[in-house]
Amino acid sequence: MGMHFGVVAAKASWERFFAELSGLTGRFLDRGRVKTLEEVDFDAHDDGFLLVGGEHEGNAYLHDSSMILSGGTFDRLVELSRRLSCTLAACVGETVSGSFGLLIAENGSLGRLYYNCVSAIREPFSLGTPLAVKSRLGLEDVDGVGLLEALRDQGLDYVAWVRRGSKHTYLYTCEGLNQASSPTRGPIEAAFDEHWKRHEYPKGQAPSPRVVSRVLPDGSMGFGIVARRPGERRKGWLSRLLGR
């Protein structure tokens, strides 16, 4: 159990969005329509990643199980917003490593970029003006509430698309990503790489993950692994057992 997802959303039709995305990031292989995300086996495949894309109320949405397009191609996403002449937002969340990221761009201009990996770097990478997020943990809520709220504030409701939007599956192999019509690493990604090198934990000093109990939507109890935050005290087994 644990959050692992990426989303790219834009105020454009799926047809336009998908055509421009393919030009920037390489080929997608059509795997047919689905009605729900639950129908799709998102576990890693030997030949690539299964992604789901579609449209709801005139906006395009991509559920990115690879987290490559949504969390590792910052310059391409900004360029995509320029080609579409629209607002674009992308986010990633992954609890085991403690990775949380958000990008918002409009008409080719970066408005906000935030990326943190709790288990790897001491300081998050941040560009632009911080957003007002109601979630108690801000963008780093382990259920992704803050990230999806930030998308919704841009008029991009991922949850509504999941419930009611059109959906199509694609196999993405990453083949051609570096040969697509965009630089391999642009200026934003270069700045991110430099930040990562400067703030990366020395070997053996990164926070270790921890096991947490969670109440699932059906009321049952589940367990997951999440990244331990810097400075978080490691409790002894008796304290954990007694809930203290």
Helices 187-199 and 74-84 pack at an angle, to 10 degrees, of: 150
CA atoms of 12 and 140, how far apart (whole Å): 27
Res 82: pLDDT: 98
CA atoms of 128 and 139, how far apart (whole Å): 15
Res 241: pLDDT: 37
Per-residue pLDDT tens digits for 73-105: 999 999 999 999 999 999 999 888 889 999 999
Tell which residue, 14, 122, 132, 130, has the closest CA to residue 63: 14
207 is written with which tokens?
């926070």
pLDDT: which is higher, 159 or 72: 159
Per-residue pLDDT tens digits for 35-66: 999 999 888 677 889 999 999 999 999 999 99
Res 217: pLDDT: 53
Per-residue pLDDT tens digits for 181-203: 555 579 999 999 999 999 999 98
* Residue 159 pLDDT grade (very low, low, confident, very high; cuts 50, 70, 90): very high
pTM for the model:
0.84
Res 137: pLDDT: 63
